[in-house]
C-alpha cells in the first residue's frame, strides 16, 4: 500500500514512540496506523448503525484529543 507522510508535533511523536515500545509495535508508524484504523473503523461502524449522538461525537473527540490528534 502506498503511504503518505503526516506531520505531528515532536512532543506527540515522543509520546507515541513510548506507547509503541510499551505495546511491542515495530515502530511508531505501525502504532499510529493501528490507532487510526481503530478510530476509523469505530466511526464507520457507528455511522452504519445509526447517526452519531452528540454524546458519541463528544466521546470520539475526547479520545482523539487524548491521543493528541485534536
pLDDT per residue over 33-44, tens digit each? 999 999 999 888
Sequence ranges of the domains in the chain: 25-70
Q: What is the pLDDT of residues 18-66, one digit of tens each?
A: 999 999 899 999 999 999 999 999 888 876 666 667 888 898 889 888 8
* Long-range Cβ contact pairs of 27-32 (< 8 A, separation 24 or more): 32/6
Mean pLDDT within 6-20: 94
What mean pLDDT do residues 5-9 have?
92
Q: Which residue has the cell 515495530?
A: 26
Amino acid at each position: 500500500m502506498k503511504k503518505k507522510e503526516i506531520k505531528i508535533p515532536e512532543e506527540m511523536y515522543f509520546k507515541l514512540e513510548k506507547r509503541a515500545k510499551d505495546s511491542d509495535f515495530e515502530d511508531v508508524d505501525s502504532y499510529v496506523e493501528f490507532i487510526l484504523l481503530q478510530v476509523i473503523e469505530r466511526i464507520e461502524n457507528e455511522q452504519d448503525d445509526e447517526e452519531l449522538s452528540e454524546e458519541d461525537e463528544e466521546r470520539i473527540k475526547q479520545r482523539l484529543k487524548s491521543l493528541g490528534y485534536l
